Structure 1
Amino acid sequence: MDKIIEKLETWRDIFLKNIPNIAIAIVVVLIAYFASRAINSFISKNLRNRIKQESVRNLVSRVASAVIFLLGLYIAMTVLKFDGTLKTIVSAAGVSGIVVGLALQGTLSNTISGVVLSFRHNLNIGNWVETNGYAGEVIDINLNYFVIREADNNTVVIPNKTILENPFKNYSLTTQMRIAIECGVEYGADLEMVEKLTKQTIQDNFNQKEIGKNVEFYYTEFGDSSINFLCRFWVDSQNALQKLKAKSNAIIQIKKAFDKENINIPFPIRTLEFTNKLNVKNDIAKQHMSSN
């Protein structure tokens, strides 16, 4: 018991002796923390004009912020005279780094993939992309995962490695998208009139001359109950939702134009043919006799 008390008194004396150093270390850590946040904000604002990619700006600011905080932490440990311990930890880290690297192989792969994605010119925050079965607006690219917000406001978090290893479609790289509409008209319709009316309807509602494109119209097949056609045109759009709205509007306008000119879009028709003639009178007579 006396040894325990003696040891506690020794620790108390060491603690009281190092109170100034502990206070300085705490102040250094706090300064490093707030300095790292200030550096993060400062770099993000000042790099906005020089680096257009928001993902790259975020990466640079985060790395700079981490470096500032780690530097402050090192100074604090030096003030507390833990520099010898720190050197020992660093030396041991070199030996155990291989083991840790193997254990965190997936995490390190995502981190490296995050750095690569941040510097890609064909992918940036705010783009509308489709990848790995998901489509939405990119809201964050960090060192671990890739975040998109879908049209229904659901947030999808995807590992960076998955994004880098799989193809993705970026709708925001172009300002124009082509829409294809497939439809059919009755066999008795004036096909030349249908083509002219469809093209004029699209032109009136989606000015192709301003875009510098033409409306494309092709009859594709003699269907079971209709002659089918394909109409393609261009719209100003940077995401799939705008494209979907434009296609919906085009279908409505084409249907109105066809109704006005009495052009029928036929329903699927199925003809049933009975090879054996039914003798209704004999059947009724047999039923009557059997009932008696």
Structure 2
Amino acid sequence: MQEKFKKALNGMWDKLDSWFNSFVSNLPNIILAILVFITAVLISRYIRKLVYKITGRSSLQESMKQLLSQIVSIVVILMGLFFVLSILNLGKALNTILAGAGVAGLAVGLALQGALANTYSGIILSYVKQIKFGDWIETNNYEGEVIDIDLRVVTIKQVDNNLVYVPNKMVVENPIKNYSTTAQSRVILECGVAYNSDLQQVRDLVKKTIVNHFEAVENKEDILFLYRDFGDSSINFETRFWINSTSALEVAKAKTEAMILIKAVFDENDIQIPFPIRTLDFPQKFMRALRNSD
């Protein structure tokens, strides 16, 4: 028993001795590999800042600038790792790592199809010019200001100051209404007046009120005024005019202001905005019975 124990102990010491000798003989290569890796990390940080600074002069989205700088940084670090493995004579290990990475990448790709789709869509949204930070958009039944685009979601700030996080894939695959692609937005206001109203006077008052209170409207010809139909209790009209804003919130404010002004000018000129009236017609027998009961 002692003989076996001594033999095993000697084998262990021989193994440790060979490892130590191998470590000492490869010590210069190990030190060089460490220096190469540290240099690669430092260079990657510098190049990352440089790429971000260069892309900062372009019209790319903030998320796209960060993505490009990160990709370049990772590529530099990977190149440093390849040099390290080459210095340490680990070519076979490198081949094994690459083979394993391919199999693992396939498995991860199948498992993360949704996440990868959002990442790819995020790259597309970061590159296209149809949507950018500060735009007021409507997509997937949500409307608001775009405040961020990352590799997972588009963040929209709604009128009520709540944030909505819409997955990038849904934004790419569904229609987007961008209110900020033009310099102006149109305000559409619908109303109705009583049947005894002077329709020519109504039209003139509405146009004059809008021209006097909205800077973007220079004259009455810039306003579209249309009588739509004869309603149950009113003659309905629609007026349209432009304002110098691309925000849906500003459109809503302008519409509110126009309603207040038009209501005030109608009151001054005894023009009524009627509301539906219901007339109840009771049978005569019912009315006689009701009077007799009194």
* TM-score, normalised via structure 2 length: 0.80
1:262 alignment partner, one of 259, 264, 270: 270
Matches for 1:39-78 after TM superposition, within 5 Å? 39-49=47-57, 51-55=58-62, 56-75=64-83
The equivalent residue for 2:241 is 233
Residue type of the alignment partner of 2:73: S
Q: What displacement does 1:104 show?
A: 2.4
Matches for 1:1-292 after TM superposition, within 5 Å? 6=12, 10=16, 13=20, 32-33=40-41, 35-49=43-57, 51-55=58-62, 56-75=64-83, 84-209=92-217, 214-276=222-284, 277-284=287-294
Over the residues paired in the alignment, what is the CA RMSD in angstroms?
3.3
Q: How many residue pairs were aligned?
A: 282
The answer to whether the Cα contact below 8 Å between 2:137 and 2:179 also exists between their aligned partners in 1 is yes
Q: What displacement does 1:240 show?
A: 1.2
User: Per the alignment, in what secondary structure is the counterpart of residue 130 of structure 2?
Assistant: coil
Distance 1:135 1:22 in 2: 58
Q: What displacement does 1:86 show?
A: 3.0
State which drifts further: 149-158 or 217-226.
Answer: 149-158
The answer to whether the Cα contact below 8 Å between 1:146 and 1:160 also exists between their aligned partners in 2 is yes
Percent identity over paired residues: 43
Distance 1:16 1:154 in 2: 60
Distance 1:33 1:212 in 2: 66
Residue type of the alignment partner of 1:120: V
* TM-score, normalised via structure 1 length: 0.80
The answer to whether the Cα contact below 8 Å between 1:211 and 1:235 also exists between their aligned partners in 2 is no
Residue type of the alignment partner of 1:261: N
Relative to structure 1, the CA distance from residue 278 to residue 24 in structure 2 (aligned partners, 3 Å threshold; closer, same or farther) is farther
Gaps of 5+ in 1: 285-292
The answer to whether the Cα contact below 8 Å between 2:133 and 2:147 also exists between their aligned partners in 1 is yes
Distance 2:21 2:234 in 1: 94
User: Per the alignment, in what secondary structure is the counterpart of residue 256 of structure 1?
Assistant: helix
Q: What displacement does 1:33 show?
A: 4.9
Distance 2:177 2:56 in 1: 26
Gaps of 5+ in 2: none
Distance 2:208 2:151 in 1: 51
Distance 2:251 2:28 in 1: 66
